[in-house]
Structure 1
Amino acid sequence: MSTPVRIWDLPTRLFHWTLAICIVLGIVFVKIGGNAMQWHAYCGYAALALILFRVIWGFIGSWYARFTNFIPGPAKLMTFLRGQVDGGLGHNPLGALSVIALLSVILIQALTGLFADDDIFFQGPFAKYVSNNTVALLTSIHRFNQYFIFALVGLHIAAISYYHLVKRENLIRPMITGDKSLTSKPPLEVEIDSFRQRMLALAVFLLISLGLYFLIA
């Protein structure tokens, strides 16, 4: 008999799906162009707030959300690749690396967008504070970096599909419900998704959002 065990706290799940929405809408708005570029910028600001929140949550959040508990060392990565250990309840070693890669490229995209200038419809709020050469460089990085995002998102979707079709493991449901079904006792008895943790996450996100608002406005 399987028992649901809470793995992903509500803040981590909300971060995941809200960031996914920001990425999709950001792509849609940039393809539309024109006045929609302002909405593309809003998606970028939201993504930046989310990424900064996730970085902080990676240090103070619940057990499976903390970087120290899922980023693999070389030895752990190699044993996983050899099939000598399973992936555990949270992110497996490869999944952990993909998370770090995605967080990194999206952070780069959001930060460079603050300085980007397309010379037609949009100028980032910080573009006026740096030289034209710097603006040109950061705009180029912003445009080129999108392909890394596309590639990593594609790999992410491919990995989810592989686990679902080949390994018969649904990775989407736990990121919606927060729970994984186990047939044995969980290896750890830790506090996950408590009211205190949720309030802490809300406070952190609100502080980040307010800080960015006053910085950008």
Structure 2
Amino acid sequence: MSLTPELLLHAYSVGVFPMSEHRDDPEIFWVDPKRRGILPLDGFHISRSLAKRIRNGGFSITINRDFAGVVAGCADRPDTWINGEIFDRYMDLHRIGHAHSLEVRHGDELVGGVYGVSLGAAFFGESMFSRQRDASKVALAYLVDRLRQGGFVLCDTQFLTDHLASLGAIEISRAAYRRQLRDAMEGSGDFTRPQIPTPHSLLQRMTQTS
């Protein structure tokens, strides 16, 4: 199957997404889970230990500074669904403004991040990675704040993992997801507009609304 940016965006708009069995498998298949993971934007959970890491971890946050580096970081594991064609098509989506990355740095080193696709008022989280303790959790905290500030109403995580559940993610039915997706497609979110908050501002906002 040959992917195009247009095909990918249509797929997301109707609730499906592509995967491959592993990095060296040229085949791509579409996934439409019966149970869908989402991260409610008003329900993100910041533990005391995570708040301490955000305040004192020495991390810096950037947006769309190294999209390719984040996708490569997400694919740098023994088992990955990101094959060469999927990597290239997300690069295409990034170039036309529909795929974004949030990078977590410690000094000059990229230590974590998350990337995904934005369409309407929905953000479809694709993958995240961490090379330093809690870096992916820090990335998600800043991501949720950015989505809130940018007018998004849906954060899709595709599947629910224990890691995501500990941060407030939940699982809903396919029908419930599609209802939320339809509403989100009628809106408009802006991923790039919000400013990157200071750790203090981030934690203040998140604790007021969680």
Normalising by structure 2, report the TM-score.
0.25
- Larger relative contact order, structure 1 or 2 (CA cutoff 8 Å, min sep 6): 1
* Pair member with larger Rg: 1
Normalising by structure 1, report the TM-score.
0.24
Higher helix proportion: 1
